[in-house]
Amino acid sequence: MKWRSVAAQSLLAICVIFTVATLVSSAWQLLSGTASDANLHILLRAALVAIGVAAAQIVWRLKLKSKILNYLAAYILSLALVFAAVFVTGLATELNRNAYRDVFLNYTIAFAIIAVALHFGKKITRKKV
């Protein structure tokens, strides 16, 4: 079934991106002198990666008249979910005063890089076929 393939691809993407994000974050923290990371922060990272992969699935599957609208719809929906995740985290622990700004900038930059890669990746694979 096709949905199983999509689910398997999504789960694989979540695992790979989460692993890379955790390794980069850990290396960055060690280089800056921080020896540990909070468990809640790691769980939030996993949730944000899952939201990002869901956004990529929306871009791939949504068929609006304009590709820009596909990306914009996925970005707005996923960014709302990211802000909701930060809000829920704020109910359990104190947030940095710049938490929303930081997550907005990090998510927007990551989304833009992935959107460009998806857009040009599709064009390259279409030319090969």
pLDDT digits (tens, 9 = 90+) for 11-61: 788 788 878 887 787 777 767 776 666 667 777 778 888 888 888 787 777
Q: Which of the four pLDDT bands, split at 50, 70 and 90, describes residue 108? A: very high
Q: Is the pLDDT of residue 1 over 60?
A: no
Residue linked to tokens 């921080």: 34
Question: Quick check: 70 pLDDT over 70?
Answer: yes
Residue 71: which pLDDT band, with cuts at 50, 70 and 90?
A: confident
Confirm if 14 and 50 have CB atoms less than 8 A apart: yes
Lowest mean pLDDT segment, chosen from 37-46, 53-62, 66-75, 101-110:
37-46
Residues ≥6 apart with Cβ < 8 Å to 95: 86, 89
Range of the structural domain that residue 106 is part of: 2-128
Indicate the number of domains in the chain.
1
